[in-house]
Each structure stands twice: as structure tokens, then as C-alpha cells.
């Protein structure tokens, strides 16, 4: 399979885009054509364990990795006790109307582990084959950073430079990242918000000479490897949700997915799964108070906020105003026309917004997207109601998903809510919602008490360039 840029031009095969961030022209890598899954294909996948399913789905995208090698990579990513649940992704009902897709069983207790554990194995595989090194430059609003660092810590051919916004993550999230002492892990806390961190990453990634000189790559959701690995759990969730459906009725049996969304990578993977043939009726996008994406899907106008207008909320991993993955969807919305896509992003750079209101009716009717916003009061009430009715404690981001999902339930259509993280990562909000402190186990106390190593840095491109140049790995 070949990959192209959303703004035009060929980018090579899977292993090529795995080591790259932005395309040279500033676009994002997408498959030249999405592979397709028929009803018969899906049925043949039903009895597979999660690592085997991952091999099957990823083999459609990673056609340049021999199948036996890919099977070893998925076995290493999802085996060896890395995930607490034996099935890797448990799918359990919350009520007659809602089902929770458990994506937070991995080493950092967040859904980002699902793709990042595979990416760690796959990137090391490519680097070993080619004799190259990679200096990963990324930005995190909380969970991506820890998942990436735990996937790449100690790997000889990879160094990771992770930017995070000062004071914008929970204590647990900070501890998961900053307590790592591995020599190849570099944490930088930037004065500003997540979008400032992301802008720094983008500016350095767009400097082709600097990028090549320092072997820069990306593992946040602009890396298509992440997107492809996330498609797997949408297929898995549909299979589990339809296990009890009579075999004669499974073909075309639709479900809907509710997805807490900040950078648009997770729900984009669901859109790709739907486009490949998984019977998905609706993709329900849940925003927090930074509801730029909700506004886009309701109006067709994309208007990212400035840093000073990006709110600090109790679902901090979604405190994003500029969703870097939206360009991949807009590329499809505009007929996969790279010139129109590039023009839209020029409009964004020049005016601060993109007006696609003429396309808005198609967002639901053709692509299946609906959306909604959740507030702090909403998430507290939702955490409380779910706990009182089921005994299950959900984290604030998952609560946003449940709250918005409840407004889009349809008779006969299962609504699957994608879990974001374990609740202990956000103990203060859980305590506020339930009225009692969340119980802290010995491992969590040890993590929070561990020495932390982080470099505070101004929102300054030149300072970041110098920091990387001094510490980057050389081939």
C-alpha cells in the first residue's frame, strides 16, 4: 500500500511514513486507498484473540512488513502481561443502552497505550532493519506523553523529546512522565498550553533541513502508525458487541461509538473503520469546554482558539483547540482533493478559521458524525450517576463521552463509549464527584512520591532547537 500527503505527493509505504511526522509539504500521511472489509471478512475475524486481530488489520496497511514479522510485533505489543485484562480490551455493558469499551488496561492506564505499544515495537523494527536512529519530538496534553515514553524508554535507537504544558496536567500524569529517569527520555514543560507545545513541534517538523539533520520523527496522532493501530479496537468492539446477535443478522448490524475527542485522532480511526466497512451508524464526538470540534460538526466552521482562550478543565487531555488530525478528515470531506485541502489550511493560516459550512449537512448524513459538549458540572454528575447505577468509576474524559452519548442513543442501535483512562489518574475530580477521596494504592503513592526530572522551558523555538541539537541521537 502506498501513502500520499493530504496536500499532494507520494510518501512511500508504511515503514516510510512510520518514521515521519508531517509530510515535506506540511500535509499528513493517508493511504492512497482505504482497504475494505466485507461482512464475510469480519466474520472470519470473530474468533481471533486481540494480537491476532491486530495482525490481520495492520497487515492491510503495513504491506511492506512480512506477515511473520508483523505477527511478532503485535504479539510483543499486546502480550507479555503488558495489559491487565486477559482480553486486552474488555467490552462491558454500563446499562441497557450504553457499553464501555475498556481501552485503559495498558501500562500507563490510558487508551494511548493501545497504539503506542505497537508503535514502540514497529519503529524499533524499522530502525534495526535500516540502521537508523530516531529522535521523537512530540507534544502532549497528558496521556500521549506518558504512553510514548513508556513505549520507547530504554530503546537504543530512539530518543524522545516530549513537550507538555506547565501546570495543565494532573499530578498522576506528570508523575508518570517526569519520574522516568531513562537517559533517552527528555521531558520539557513549556510555558503555555497544549496548542503552544503542538505549534513548536509543527514548526520544527516543517523545517526539512533541521528535521533531516536531527532525524526527527513523531509518535503523536499525526503518525499514521498510531491511527492504523487504533482502527483495530473499533473492529474488536464491533465484533464483541455483536457476539450475541444471531449469525444470520450480524451482517450490517450497526453500532454507534461515542468518543471523547481533543486532537481528533481516536475518532478519526473510527471514521476509517466505518469507511472500511465496519457497520457503524454514528460517530458521536464529545468535547469539553474547549468545544472547537463540536462547533465544527454543528456549523461547518472550524475556528481554533488562541492559547489565552483555551480553558484549563477537569478533562485536561481534551484541552485542545487546534486538532491536528482534522486535516485528514477534511481531505476526505473535500473529495480527497489535495489542492482544496491545502487551500483550506492556507485560509486557516491567513484568517484563523476555515468555513466549510456548505459541507455541514454531509457531516452526519454521509459521514455519520454528530457531536456535543460536556461541562465540569456535567462530568461530575455523570461520574456520580454511573457509579450509583453500576458501581463503576469512570474518569472525567470518559464521563464527557457518556454525557454526550446519552443525547444520541437510538432504539436498537448499541452505543459504545470508548474509555479514555483509569479514574485514579484524576483523583481530585473523582473525589469531587463522589464526595470521598479515591483510594490510593501503594504503587500510586510510590509513583507520586518518586523524584521527577523535567526541564522548564519558555515557549521559544530557538531554545527548543538548541536543546534538541545538543542531545539528539546520531546514526
User: Pairing relation of β-strands 134-139 and 216-217?
Assistant: parallel
Of residues 281, 272, 289, the one with CA closest to residue 325: 272
**CB contact set of 117 (below 8 Å; sequence gap of 6+):** 77, 78, 82, 106, 107, 147, 151
Of residues 407, 406, 437, the one with CA closest to residue 424: 437
Vertex 359, ends 39 and 198: CA angle to 5°?
85
Interatomic CA distance for residues 342 and 226, integer angstroms: 23
Query: What secondary structure letter does DSSP report for 242?
Result: T
Q: By the 8 A CB rule, do 154 and 182 touch?
A: yes
User: Pairing relation of β-strands 134-139 and 158-165?
Assistant: parallel
Catalytic-role residue among 112, 403, 422, 425: 112
Interatomic CA distance for residues 127 and 398, integer angstroms: 35
Interatomic CA distance for residues 172 and 300, integer angstroms: 36
SS3 state at 469: helix
Interatomic CA distance for residues 319 and 174, integer angstroms: 16
State the number of CA atoms in the 13 A half-sphere of 254 facing the CB. 12
30: left (phi over 0), alpha (psi -120 to 50) or beta: beta
Residue 112 catalytic? yes
CA distances from 82 to 78, 105, 153, 188, 251 (A): 7, 8, 14, 27, 33
Which helix or strand (DSSP H or E) is residue 272 part of? helix 265-276
| End-to-end C-alpha distance for the chain, whole angstroms | 28
Of residues 370, 368, 394, the one with CA closest to residue 381: 394
- The residue whose grid cell reads 464529545 is 286
Kindly compute the dihedral angle of the four CA atoms of residues 57, 63, 69, 70, in this order, to the nearest 10 degrees: -20
Instruction: Give me 153's grid cell.
Output: 524508554
- Residues forming the active site: 112
Amino acid at each position: 500500500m502506498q501513502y500520499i500527503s493530504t496536500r499532494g505527493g507520494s510518501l512511500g509505504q508504511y515503514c516510510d511514513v512510520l518514521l515521519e511526522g508531517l509530510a515535506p509539504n506540511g500535509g499528513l500521511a493517508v493511504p492512497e486507498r482505504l482497504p475494505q472489509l466485507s461482512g464475510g471478512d469480519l466474520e472470519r475475524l470473530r474468533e481471533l484473540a486481540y494480537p491476532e486481530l491486530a495482525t490481520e488489520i495492520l497487515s492491510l496497511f503495513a504491506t511492506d512488513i512480512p506477515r511473520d514479522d508483523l505477527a511478532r510485533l503485535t504479539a510483543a505489543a499486546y502480550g507479555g502481561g503488558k495489559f491487565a485484562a486477559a482480553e486486552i480490551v474488555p467490552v462491558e455493558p454500563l446499562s441497557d443502552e450504553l457499553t464501555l469499551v475498556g481501552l485503559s488496561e495498558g501500562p500507563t492506564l490510558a487508551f494511548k497505550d493501545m497504539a503506542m505499544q505497537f508503535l514502540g515495537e514497529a519503529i524499533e523494527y524499522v530502525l534495526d532493519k535500516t540502521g537508523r536512529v530516531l529522535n521523537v519530538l512530540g507534544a502532549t496534553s497528558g496521556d500521549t506523553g506518558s504512553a510514548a515514553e513508556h513505549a520507547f524508554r530504554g530503546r537504543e535507537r530512539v530518543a524522545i523529546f516530549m513537550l507538555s504544558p506547565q501546570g495543565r496536567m494532573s499530578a498522576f500524569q506528570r508523575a508518570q512522565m517526569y519520574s522516568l529517569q531513562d537517559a533517552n527520555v527528555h521531558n520539557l514543560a513549556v510555558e503555555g498550553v497544549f496548542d503552544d507545545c503542538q505549534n513548536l513541534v509543527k514548526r520544527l517538523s516543517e523545517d526539512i533541513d533541521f528535521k533531516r539533520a536531527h532525524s526527527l520523527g513523531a509518535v503523536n496522532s499525526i503518525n499514521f502508525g498510531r491511527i492504523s493501530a487504533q482502527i483495530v479496537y473499533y473492529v474488536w468492539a464491533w465484533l464483541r458487541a455483536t457476539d450475541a446477535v444471531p449469525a444470520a443478522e450480524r451482517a450490517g448490524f450497526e453500532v454507534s461509538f461515542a468518543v471523547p475527542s481533543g486532537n481528533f485522532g481516536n475518532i478519526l480511526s473510527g471514521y476509517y473503520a466505518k469507511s472500511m466497512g465496519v457497520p457503524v451508524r454514528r460517530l458521536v464526538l464529545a468535547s469539553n469546554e474547549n468545544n472547537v470540534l463540536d462547533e465544527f460538526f454543528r456549523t461547518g466552521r472550524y475556528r481554533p482558539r488562541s492559547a489565552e482562550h483555551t480553558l484549563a478543565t477537569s478533562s485536561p487531555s481534551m484541552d485542545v483547540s487546534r486538532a491536528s488530525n482534522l486535516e485528514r478528515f477534511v481531505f476526505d470531506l473535500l473529495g480527497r482533493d489535495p489542492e482544496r485541502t491545502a487551500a483550506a489550511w492556507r485560509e486557516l493560516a491567513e484568517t484563523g478559521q476555515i468555513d466549510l459550512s456548505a459541507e455541514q449537512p454531509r457531516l452526519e448524513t454521509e459521514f455519520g458524525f454528530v457531536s456535543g459538549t460536556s461541562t465540569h458540572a456535567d462530568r461530575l454528575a455523570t461520574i456520580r450517576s454511573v457509579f450509583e447505577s453500576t458501581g463503576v468509576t469512570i474518569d472525567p474524559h470518559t464521563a464527557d463521552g457518556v454525557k454526550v452519548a446519552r443525547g444520541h442513543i437510538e432504539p436498537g442501535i448499541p452505543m459504545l463509549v470508548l474509555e479514555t483512562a483509569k479514574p485514579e489518574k484524576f483523583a481530585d475530580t473523582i473525589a469531587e464527584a463522589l464526595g470521598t477521596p479515591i483510594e490510593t494504592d501503594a504503587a500510586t503513592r510510590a509513583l507520586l512520591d518518586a523524584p521527577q526530572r523535567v526541564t522548564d522551558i519558555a515557549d521559544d523555538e530557538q531554545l527548543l532547537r538548541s536543546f534538541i541539537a545538543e542531545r539528539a541521537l546520531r546514526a
